[in-house]
Amino acid sequence: MNKVIVLILAILLLTSACSLFNKNTVPECEELKTETGRNTCYAELGILRADINLCDQATTEESKFYCYEGIAAKTNAPAICDEIENSYWQNICYKETGINLQQVDLCSKSNNDALKNDCIYNVSVGTRTTSSCGLISEETAFIRCFNAIAVAQKSIVPCKEMNAPPLVHDQCIYAVAKAQKDPSTCNHIMTSQPKKICFDRVKELADQASNTTNSTN
């Protein structure tokens, strides 16, 4: 037999043998005709099985690190985020694990301001921690963070802790008064017109609540 043919056959046999020992390959994925299909298969299967080795079978950075992010979020393993070499998926990874674990320090690792702010907002509201609201760089989200905690606690204390103009404080107190259905809370509003609006609206809500209670008794 021609030596060249023998050499080719030997290489083919060796390649086939190696593939048998590669436990990370999945026949169903390998049988797919397109690279995109194979990459998607390995990425989704990697997330499903929480197996980084399957992620590594993907041939594109996007699929591989999408898989890493999915496993990190699923298993709450932020250490995996540190291994992601794609900034898009790494930032998402820090956000998802930060929210899942309720850890602001993970949120702060993201260099994407929108994702970082959203993460800090969710963690702050989830833990009712106003101090971390102050880390939010976007003004609207910053205000919403304090307001959401104030309403959840039915307390004006978070409103007063917020470093914002008087009218913003008044709006926060108004939201708390509505949540409490207590017109007396409106006394803490500094601006006269908003204070009157607060009294009128909250009294109406309090009367409706009282009437509903009386009708059910």
Residue spans per domain, the chain: 32-112
Q: Which of 111, 123, 60 is nearest to 81 (CA)?
A: 111
How high is the pLDDT of residue 210?
A: 80
How high is the pLDDT of residue 216?
A: 65
Q: Which of 114, 152, 111 is nearest to 130 (CA)?
A: 152
Check: CB of residue 80 under 8 Å from CB of residue 71: yes
Taking only the tens of pLDDT, the chain with its 217 residues reads 455 434 333 333 333 443 444 457 899 899 999 999 999 999 999 999 999 999 999 999 999 999 999 999 999 999 999 999 999 999 999 999 999 999 999 999 999 999 999 999 999 999 999 999 999 999 999 999 999 999 999 999 999 999 999 999 999 999 999 999 999 999 999 999 999 999 999 999 998 888 776 666 5
How high is the pLDDT of residue 92?
A: 98
How high is the pLDDT of residue 17?
A: 40
How high is the pLDDT of residue 4?
A: 41
Write the DSSP assignment of 104-165 as a string of letters: HHHHTT---HHHHHHHHHHHHHHHT-HHHHTT--SHHHHHHHHHHHHHHHT-SHHHHHS-S-
Q: Write down the residue that tokens 């609207």 correspond to.
A: 140
Q: Which of 80, 119, 83 is nearest to 100 (CA)?
A: 119
> Token pair of 46, please?
């990697």
Check: CB of residue 150 under 8 Å from CB of residue 171: no
